[in-house]
Structures are given as C-alpha cells and as structure tokens.
C-alpha cells in the first residue's frame, strides 16, 4: 500500500504535539523542530502536487478502518482512513503549518508551562491538518473535535483575565455547532445512501444524492450545516464567541484561531454543504447573501467602535470572513477561488495583526488604543509591523489581501451586479478604522507608559518578519497560491463547470 506524504504529515504533526507536551523545559526546541518538519513535509507535498491533474484528489491513501453496521444483517457503512488533498485544501494546509511555526517562534520566551503550551499549539495544528486532509466524514469529525479541545485549554489556561468565561463560551458555542454539524453530516450519509463515510468519490455521488434526499431534507440539512460551519466562520449573529475568545486567548492561540480555525468553517461549507445539497443551497442562498452582507457591514462598523486592538482585529476578521462567505455563496468558480485565496490571505494577515497586538501588550502593558500613542517614536519596528498588517488587511495592492479581495469583488460583481457596492462601501469603513487606529497608535506625540517600553524582542521580530515576508511575497505573486486552487475535483461538478454556477 502506498503511503501518502499526508500520512507522514499527520504522523509528524501528532508525534510532534505529543513529544512537545512532555518535553519539559526544552519544549520550545522540540516544538520548533517538529513544526519546522511539518512545514518541510508540506513543502514536499507542494512539490508532489500536480497542477494539471484535476479530476480527483491527489496523494490519496485509503485504508479500510472498520465497518459501521447500524443493524446486524443490514449492509454496513464503511469507515476509512482516507486522506488526500486538492487545490482547495492545499493552501489551507500550507497556511496552517506556516502559521504554527511562526506562532511557536513568537512564543519563544514562554515560561508558563512551556511543554504543555507548545504541545497544545502543535496539537491544534495537527488537528487542523487532519481536518483539511481527511476524506472521510468520521475522520473529518474526529479531527474537527481534536482541534477544539486543545484550543479550549490554551484559552482557559494561558489566557487573559476573563479566560475561563471566554474558554467556556468558545467551547460551548463551537461544540453546539459541531454537534449540529455532525448530526447533519451523519444524516446526509445515512439518508443519502452513500454506503460509506469516505468521500473520495463524493462529487460523483451528487446525482444520487439529489434523488435520495427530498427538498425538505436538503433544506433542513443545509440549514444545519450552515449553522454548524457558520458559527466557526463566524457569521453574524453567531459571532460573539470570537471577540471574547480572541481577546482572552494567548497570542499564539489567537493567531491559530484567526488564521486557521475560522477557515475550517468555510472549508466545510465549500466541501460539504454547497456542492452536496444543491436544492438546499438554492433555497437558502438568499439567506447566505444576507448573512454575508450583514457580517461584512457589521464587522466593519464594529471594528470602528472598538478600543481594544485585539477586539478590533477580531471584528475585522468577521468582516473578512463575511466576504469569504459571500464569495462561497456565489458558488461560481471565480467565487470559490476568491474565497480560498481570501482565506489564505486573511490567515497570513490576521496572524500578523494578532502578533502585533500581543507585542503591543508586551511593550506597553495594554492593548487599549486611546491610551497609547506615538508608537513610531518608541517602538518603530512594532509600529512598522502594525502598519504593514493594517495596510494588508485593508486591501492594499502588493500585499496579499488585494488580489483576494479583488477576485472576491469581481466574482460578486459577476454574480450579484451592483450589490457589490455593499461590500465595497464596507471597504471604505475598513480603511477608515485601520487608519484611525494607526493614527492614534503609531503617530502623534507619544502617550502611554513609555518607561518600560522596549521594541520587538528578537523571537517576535523573527516571527513577524516571516509572516510579513509571506504577505508581501504572495501579494506580489498571488498566482503562487491561486494556481493550486482550480486543481480540485470540485471544479468538475457538472453544475459548477460553466462558472455560471446554477444547477439545472
């Protein structure tokens, strides 16, 4: 049996997490070695990925795991260990591993139980990688839950003052969502008559699905999946766990949360809900658009009202993920491409911004925007990083968000016409709140505690520089990511191929 590099990837990630957890004081070295190795395997995977082979997943490995028999005698449903990647999951895998490496480097000086801390960080990453590479519904769900628990402990153990509240809120919220999602997925498997949890050949099953599931079932299942994945995304009005979780989580936790965890929701929508339940999708598409526009506008305006830098960035994440949801909801090829690109871009940019927030807290002892000013004079490097992050996030060309946002708006224009003015208007508000924030933080006469301030320590500088370098690299050469995305079986679904996107 051929062993996929993805199996190696998961093995490295999980072994790394375990080894780091028990590594004691030397944990940071173990962590950086293993996360470096993860990145190395991902890069190897990238080289093995064939861009013009688009009919199926690549680097497949399928092993039968066990058979799930609902009733004795009834035909069993096969549960497999099935892994593989396509153009949609590959950028996410890359993003997750790179961001984890940066987060580990960023927390180089962590002294509060470093072993468990780095171990849990790596475990989150391992779970996320599992989510993105697994091609079996049960496996997917197992990894999905694997992500949740270490994140709960990261927030609850290493978080800020209200960490217990935030951790519980995060856990309950996302857990309710994942239960709903799980039930819906199971119902899809059972009622859809798949005969297997393995979804390697899923999109070929679509016609079968359409006949097997009645319209009412499809709408109900789609609604449940939209809720389940939407909480993760997060979309307004199920977003309130996000600011609290971000504000209380340690920097590395916030970085992983924003950069990677949010993407799982969008990934689930692209992978399951949208292609497999066409009737449900068509019925609920207006709802998706409404929620997407609401998230975009809500996120932008609320960012404007925030005083805490991390809260501001958290709400801007809601704004960006709203654009992702919008692009997914369009369900055109360009839309999906834009969504994945934007997820990738947002992952890098929000990592930068959350790291900057953490560093600001280290340097000034607060993240309160009005009480600090003139950062350019005292901490020029921090200020520069803040500026790059903000400018990238507001969609400046030559930084990674621009091609992504442009593609998203282009797709929106193609799909919705002049309604594109809604997100575009929100873009002005986005620019306004970032610039206002920078004006208050970076410029002007110095304010805030200037006695104990120090500029970025080396590890933080290294981590931030890595992320900023990627932001610039992928901003100037966006096709380095974009070229992978269409290499996905998703792009061969019959009703999806024209780019028009409406199934007959």
Partner 1 sequence: MLLGLAGRRFGRAVGWIAVAFEAGALVSGFYVALAEMGAALPYHDQSFVWLNFPGGTRFVLGTLVSPLGALMLLVINVVGLLVVLYSNEYMAHEEGLPRYYAELMLFLSAMNALVLADNYLEFILFWELVGLCSYLLIGFFYKKPEAASAAKKAFVVTRVGDVLFLAGVFLFFASFAGVHGVGPINLYPGTSCPSSAPGTGPTWACSGFVFAPPNANSAAPFLAPGTVTGDPNGALMTLGGLFILGGAAGKSAQFPLHTWLPDAMEGPTTVSALIHAATMVAAGIFLLAITTIYLGFTPTAALVILGVGGFTSLFAGTMGLVSPDIKRVIAYSTISQLGYMTMAVGASAYLVVGPGAAMFHLFTHAFFKSLLFLAAGSVIHVVGTQDLFKMGGLRKAMPITAGTMLVGALALSGIFPFSGFFSKDDLLSLTYSATSKVPFGFLFFALSVAAVLLTALYIFRLWFMAFGGDGLREPSAPHSAPHASPVGSPGPSPPALHEPSWVMLAPLVVLAAISCVAGFLPLIPSFSHLFPGLSWGLFGYSLVAGVWTFSPADLVLSLVSLSLAFLGLGLAWAFWGGGRVYRMPAESPLRGLHGLLQHRYYFDDAYDALAVQGILALSKAMDWVDRYVIDGTVHGFEQGFSRLSSRARTLQTGIVSNYALWLVTGLLVLVIFFLYGIPYLAPLFGGG
For the chain, the distance separating the N- and C-terminal CA atoms, rounded to the nearest angstrom, is 40
- Span 209-238, contacts to partner 1 by CB under 8 A: 212-214, 216-217, 236-237
CB 431 within 8 A of CB 394: yes
Among 143, 409, 474, 484, which residue sits at the site for partner 1 (rule: CB under 8 A)? 409
416 touches partner 1 by CB under 8 A: no
In the complex with partner 1, the residue whose CB is nearer, 25 or 444, is 444
Which value, in Å, is the radius of gyration of the alpha carbons in the chain?
Answer: 22
Cis peptide before 90 (omega within 30 of 0): no
Q: Minimum CB separation from partner 1 for residue 254, in Å?
A: 19
419 touches partner 1 by CB under 8 A: no
- The continuous run of DSSP H or E covering 231 comes out as helix 215-232
CA distance 257 to 124: 9
* Neighbour tally for 206: CB within 10 Å: 18
In the complex with partner 1, the residue whose CB is nearer, 189 or 334, is 334
* Neighbour tally for 250: CB within 10 Å: 23
333 touches partner 1 by CB under 8 A: yes
CA distance 13 to 119: 10
CB 205 within 8 A of CB 191: no
In the complex with partner 1, the residue whose CB is nearer, 11 or 172, is 172
Among 32, 149, 186, 432, which residue sits at the site for partner 1 (rule: CB under 8 A)? 432
For residue 66, list its beta bridge partners.
Answer: 79
DSSP 128-168: HHHHHHB-BHHHHHHHHHHHHHHHHHHHHHH--TTHHHHHH
50 touches partner 1 by CB under 8 A: no
In the complex with partner 1, the residue whose CB is nearer, 128 or 300, is 300
Q: Minimum CB separation from partner 1 for residue 456, in Å?
A: 18
413 touches partner 1 by CB under 8 A: yes
Size of the site for partner 1 (CB under 8 A): 66
In the complex with partner 1, the residue whose CB is nearer, 40 or 208, is 208
92 touches partner 1 by CB under 8 A: no
Q: Which residues contact 298 (CB under 8 A, 6 or more apart)?
A: 236, 239, 315, 318, 319, 322
Q: How far is CA 417 from CA 4, 331, 332, 399, 430, in A?
A: 44, 15, 14, 26, 21
Among 33, 142, 183, 377, which residue sits at the site for partner 1 (rule: CB under 8 A)? 377
- Backbone conformation region of residue 135, classed left if phi is above 0, alpha if psi is from -120 to 50, else beta: alpha
DSSP 59-92: EEEEEEEEEE-SSTTSPPEEEEEEEEE-TTHHHH
Q: Minimum CB separation from partner 1 for residue 319, in Å?
A: 12
- Span 116-135, contacts to partner 1 by CB under 8 A: none
CB 379 within 8 A of CB 438: no
In the complex with partner 1, the residue whose CB is nearer, 46 or 476, is 476
In the complex with partner 1, the residue whose CB is nearer, 27 or 328, is 328
Which positions from 337 to 376 touch partner 1 by CB under 8 A, shown as an x/- string? Answer: x------------------------------------x-x
* Neighbour tally for 286: CB within 10 Å: 10
Of the ranges 90-98, 103-111, 423-431, 457-465, which one interacts with partner 1 (CB under 8 A)?
Answer: 423-431
469 touches partner 1 by CB under 8 A: no
CB 278 within 8 A of CB 214: no
Instruction: Return residues touching partner 1 (CB under 8 A).
Output: 169, 172-173, 191, 212-214, 216-217, 236-237, 239-241, 298, 301-306, 332-334, 337, 374, 376-377, 391, 396-398, 402-403, 406-407, 409-410, 413, 417-418, 420-421, 424-425, 427-429, 431-432, 435-436, 438-439, 442-445, 478-479, 482-483, 486, 491, 498-499
């Amino acid at each position: 049996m051929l062993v996929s590099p993805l199996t190696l990837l998961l093995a490295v990630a999980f072994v790394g997490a375990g080894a780091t957890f028990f590594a004691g004081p030397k944990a940071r070295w173990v962590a950086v070695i293993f996360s470096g190795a993860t990145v190395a395997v991902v890069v190897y995977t990238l080289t093995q990925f064939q861009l013009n082979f688009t009919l199926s997943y690549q680097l497949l490995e399928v092993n039968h795991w066990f058979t799930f028999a609902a009733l004795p005698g009834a035909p069993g449903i096969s549960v497999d260990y099935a892994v593989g990647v396509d153009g949609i999951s590959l950028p996410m895998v890359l993003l997750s591993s790179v961001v984890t490496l940066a987060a580990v480097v960023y927390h180089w000086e962590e002294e509060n139980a470093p072993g468990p801390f780095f171990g849990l960080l790596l475990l989150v990453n391992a779970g996320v990688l599992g989510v993105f590479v697994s091609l079996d519904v049960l496996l997917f769900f197992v990894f999905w839950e694997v992500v949740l628990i270490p994140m709960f402990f990261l927030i609850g153990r290493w978080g800020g003052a209200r960490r217990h509240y935030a951790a519980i809120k995060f856990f309950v919220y996302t857990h309710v969502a994942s239960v709903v999602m799980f039930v819906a997925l199971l119902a899809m498997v059972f009622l859809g008559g798949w005969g297997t949890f393995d979804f390697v050949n899923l999109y070929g099953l679509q016609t079968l699905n359409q006949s097997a599931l009645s319209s009412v079932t499809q709408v109900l299942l789609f609604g449940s999946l939209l809720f389940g994945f939407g909480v993760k995304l997060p979309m307004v009005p199920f977003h309130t766990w996000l600011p609290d979780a971000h504000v209380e989580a340690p920097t590395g936790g916030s970085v992983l949360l924003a950069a990677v965890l949010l993407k799982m929701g969008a990934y689930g929508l692209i992978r399951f809900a949208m292609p497999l339940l066409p009737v449900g999708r068509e019925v609920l598409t207006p709802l998706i658009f409404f929620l997407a526009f609401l998230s975009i506008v809500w996120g932008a305006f609320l960012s404007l009202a925030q005083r805490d830098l991390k809260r501001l960035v958290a709400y801007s994440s809601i704004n960006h993920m709203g654009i992702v949801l919008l692009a997914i909801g369009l369900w055109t090829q360009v839309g999906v491409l834009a969504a994945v690109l934007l997820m990738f871009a947002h992952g890098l940019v929000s990592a930068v911004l959350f790291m900057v927030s953490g560093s600001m807290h280290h340097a000034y002892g607060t993240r309160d925007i009005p009480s600090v000013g003139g950062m350019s004079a005292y901490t020029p490097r921090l200020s520069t990083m803040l500026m790059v992050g903000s400018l990238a996030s507001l969609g400046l060309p030559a930084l990674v968000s621009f091609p992504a946002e442009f593609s998203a708006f282009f797709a929106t224009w193609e799909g919705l016409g002049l309604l594109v003015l809604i997100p575009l208007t929100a873009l002005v508000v986005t620019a306004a709140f970032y610039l206002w924030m920078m004006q208050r933080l970076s410029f002007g006469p110095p304010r805030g505690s200037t006695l104990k301030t120090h500029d970025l320590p080396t590890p933080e500088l290294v981590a931030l520089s890595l992320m900023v370098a990627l932001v610039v690299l992928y901003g100037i050469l966006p096709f380095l990511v974009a070229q992978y995305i269409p290499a996905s079986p998703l792009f061969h679904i019959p009703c999806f191929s024209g780019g028009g996107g409406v199934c007959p």
